[in-house]
């Protein structure tokens, strides 16, 4: 099933205009495994002319695709979901090797993606327009009626990050195409193989030529060209705040939907169930080595229960399994590359140098950073503010809930926060004041279920995702006004 995307010498092809095309450009990027450095494939650094062809193909395909009935577009998603599950084992192996994700999380990313596709198809089929009578506005009568339907936007450029190479590609592609757009997928370079396999799944499901095209190449090299391409009608980006900010600076008059970085706080009050809290902090902070936008990235705990919480978190951290995801089931895996591991080590060193108490971890073997917990982190330390995207958590002790809110809101980020308390009034008091997209009460920060609205404020994003919200973001209302003469 996947043979067509690969040719000799482990070189991968791109899906353009319904064909798996061998790049004419002689330049290839080697994809090596973060686990052991082994070469797992070579992807084309596509030339500008090839990118232009992808845009031409997408434009032409979208004009036809938008007139295909929604029920038929939805059928492709149901089929793609089935095919994805059929190849789950094969894709899991690739994902483990390509991004070092543990087997359980890789498998669950794939099954979650199949669920996402089916739910997207169901939702699209059940969305309806509205008719608005004119007489609710002063001076108008019922002879004027606006019939509001939804129109696709055109060509959607979907740029996905390395950490969920299947889910965060499909969660852009599925709502976009069901809304009648065509999509150009530019996967993260480390994550491209997963992205290309996903494209093959859609192709096998019968997506018409050009409705889904892929582009590979380093974002630092082709990024500016693709985001400013005159053929782009919408950009759906997930990745770092740094790159997201750059895209928003250099684009013009192209709507953007962006999921960016985060520094999600777990706020712990004195009446919290500390066992539940510690379990959620450990699962939320360390799974996939903290390489999740919604990972818990700081703990703000009131002084009164801080010692107890530290003990419980430390105890539960003993259960984290560290190592090679190809050999065993683990929680802590090598980080995606040495640059990422170096960055985490810088934050660890800064916290140590400035007097934070190292409770657990702090050590590194290659790109594997052991799960690390610091207590008494203060606001002059980088770890209090920067997103490590690695397995290190700072505990910041606070006087009370108001100080927790103040510190939480001082962050440049505003993705999610968690509040642990048994008091519903305090939970609402805090939720009301936090400047974030989502507040979780007595649970770790997390995206799912995927039909909930998912958004970041401040430096954490633009616009709202979540199945129905994503379909709405990638379509626009079209008003046809009936003027009756009666």
Summarize as ranges the residues that interact with ligand G3P (CB under 6 A): 163-164, 168, 292-294, 446-448
Contact 45, 222 (CB under 8 A): yes
- Select from ligand NAP, ligand G3P, none the partner in contact with residue 446, using the beta carbon and a kind-dependent cut-off of 5 to 8 Å: ligand G3P
Q: State in angstroms the smallest separation of the CB of 95 from ligand NAP.
A: 14
Q: State in angstroms the smallest separation of the CB of 314 from ligand NAP.
A: 26
Contact call for residue 259 and ligand NAP (CB under 6 A): yes
Separation in Å, CA 149 to CA 128, 130, 133, 484: 8, 7, 15, 19
Q: State in angstroms the smallest separation of the CB of 123 from ligand NAP.
A: 19
Contact call for residue 389 and ligand NAP (CB under 6 A): yes
Contact 31, 189 (CB under 8 A): yes
- Select from ligand G3P, ligand NAP, none the partner in contact with residue 129, using the beta carbon and a kind-dependent cut-off of 5 to 8 Å: none
| Nearer CB in complex with ligand NAP: 371/456 | 456
d(CA 158, CA 141): 44
Contact 137, 320 (CB under 8 A): no
Q: State in angstroms the smallest separation of the CB of 208 from ligand G3P.
A: 28
Three-class SS of 310-349 = HHHHHHHHCCCCECCCCCCCCCECCCCCHHHHHHHHHHHH
Contact call for residue 239 and ligand NAP (CB under 6 A): yes
In the block, tokens 């510690």 appear at 278
- Select from ligand NAP, ligand G3P, none the partner in contact with residue 278, using the beta carbon and a kind-dependent cut-off of 5 to 8 Å: none
d(CA 444, CA 285): 9
d(CA 276, CA 282): 10
In the block, tokens 């506005």 appear at 137
| Nearer CB in complex with ligand G3P: 157/293 | 293
d(CA 416, CA 358): 26
DSSP lists the bridge partners of residue 357 as 375
State the sign of the Cα–Cα–Cα–Cα dihedral 299, 302, 306, 312: negative
Contact call for residue 195 and ligand NAP (CB under 6 A): no
Residue 292 sits at the vertex; the CA angle it makes with 287 and 297, to the nearest 5 degrees, is 80
| Nearer CB in complex with ligand G3P: 180/239 | 239
The DSSP element (H or E) to which 217 belongs, if any, is none
Burial of 379 (0-12, 13-18, 19+ CB in 10 A): exposed
Which has the closest alpha carbon to 294: 152, 427, 455? 455
| Nearer CB in complex with ligand G3P: 295/351 | 295
Contact call for residue 220 and ligand NAP (CB under 6 A): yes
Q: State in angstroms the smallest separation of the CB of 444 from ligand G3P.
A: 8
| Nearer CB in complex with ligand NAP: 239/371 | 239
d(CA 121, CA 420): 35
Number of residues that bind ligand NAP (CB under 6 A): 31
Question: Binding residue for ligand NAP (CB under 6 A) from 14, 57, 92, 163?
Answer: 163
Contact call for residue 162 and ligand NAP (CB under 6 A): yes
Question: Binding residue for ligand NAP (CB under 6 A) from 152, 180, 456, 466?
Answer: 456
| Nearer CB in complex with ligand G3P: 32/443 | 443
Active site annotation includes 27: no
Stretch that binds ligand NAP, among 134-142, 213-221, 302-310, 394-402 (CB under 6 A): 213-221
| Nearer CB in complex with ligand NAP: 118/246 | 246
Are β-strands 296-302 and 264-268 bridged in parallel, bridged antiparallel, or unpaired?
Answer: parallel
d(CA 449, CA 443): 13
Q: Check 259, 270, 386, 446 and give the catalytic one.
A: 259
Contact call for residue 188 and ligand NAP (CB under 6 A): yes
Contact call for residue 466 and ligand NAP (CB under 6 A): no
Contact call for residue 175 and ligand NAP (CB under 6 A): no
At residue 440, the 3 state secondary structure works out as strand
| Nearer CB in complex with ligand G3P: 180/261 | 261
At residue 479, the 3 state secondary structure works out as strand
- Select from ligand NAP, ligand G3P, none the partner in contact with residue 79, using the beta carbon and a kind-dependent cut-off of 5 to 8 Å: none
Pure H helices in 190-327: 192-204, 219-227, 241-250, 274-286, 303-317
**Positions in the binding site for ligand NAP (CB under 6 A):** 159-163, 168, 186, 188-189, 218-220, 223-224, 227, 238-240, 243, 246-247, 259-262, 293, 387, 389, 415, 456, 461
- Catalytic residue annotation: 259
């Amino acid at each position: 099933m996947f043979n067509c995307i690969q040719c000799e010498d482990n070189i991968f092809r791109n899906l353009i205009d319904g064909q798996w095309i061998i790049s004419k450009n002689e330049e290839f990027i080697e994809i090596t495994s973060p686990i052991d450095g082994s070469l797992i494939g070579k992807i084309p650094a596509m030339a500008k002319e090839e990118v232009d062809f992808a845009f031409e193909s997408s434009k032409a395909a979208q004009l036809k695709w938008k007139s295909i009935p929604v029920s038929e577009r939805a059928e492709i998603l149901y089929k793609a979901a089935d095919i994805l599950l059929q190849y789950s084992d094969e894709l899991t192996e690739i994902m483990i090797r390509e991004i070092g994700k543990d087997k359980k999380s890789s498998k669950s990313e794939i099954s979650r993606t199949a669920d996402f596709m089916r739910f997207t198809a169901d939702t699209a089929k059940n969305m309806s327009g509205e008719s608005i009578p004119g007489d609710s506005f002063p001076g108008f009568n019922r002879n004027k009626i606006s019939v509001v339907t939804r129109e696709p936007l055109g060509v959607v450029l979907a740029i996905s990050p390395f950490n969920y190479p299947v889910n965060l590609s499909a969660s852009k592609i599925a709502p976009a195409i069901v809304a009648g757009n065509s999509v150009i997928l530019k996967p993260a370079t480390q994550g491209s193989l997963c992205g290309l396999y996903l494209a093959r799944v859609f192709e096998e499901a019968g997506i018409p030529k050009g409705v889904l095209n892929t582009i590979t190449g380093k974002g630092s090299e082709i990024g500016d060209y693709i985001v400013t391409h005159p053929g782009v009608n919408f950009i759906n980006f997930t990745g770092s705040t740094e790159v997201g900010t750059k895209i928003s600076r250099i684009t013009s008059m192209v709507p953007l939907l962006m999921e960016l970085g985060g520094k999600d706080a777990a706020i712990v009050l004195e009446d919290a169930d500390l066992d539940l809290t510690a379990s959620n902090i450990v699962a939320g902070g360390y799974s996939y080595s903290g390489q999740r936008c919604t990972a818990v990235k700081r703990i703000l705990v009131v002084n009164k229960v801080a010692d107890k919480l530290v003990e419980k978190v430390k105890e539960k951290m003993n259960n984290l399994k560290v190592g090679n995801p190809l050999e065993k089931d683990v929680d802590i895996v090598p980080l995606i590359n040495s640059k990422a591991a170096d960055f985490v080590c810088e934050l660890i060193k800064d916290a140590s140098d400035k007097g934070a108490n190292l409770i657990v971890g702090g050590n590194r073997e290659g790109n594997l950073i052991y799960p690390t917990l610091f207590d008494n982190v203060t606001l002059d330390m980088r770890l209090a503010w920067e997103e490590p995207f690695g397995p290190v958590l700072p505990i910041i002790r606070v006087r009370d809930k108001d100080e927790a809110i103040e510190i939480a809101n001082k962050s440049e980020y505003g993705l999610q926060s968690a509040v642990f308390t048994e008091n519903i009034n305090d939970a609402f008091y805090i939720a009301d004041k936090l400047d974030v997209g989502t507040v979780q009460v007595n649970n770790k920060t997390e995206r799912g279920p995927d039909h909930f609205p998912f958004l970041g404020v401040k430096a954490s994003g633009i616009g709202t995702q979540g199945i129905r919200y994503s379909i709405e973001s990638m379509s626009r209302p079209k008003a046809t006004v009936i003027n009756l003469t009666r």
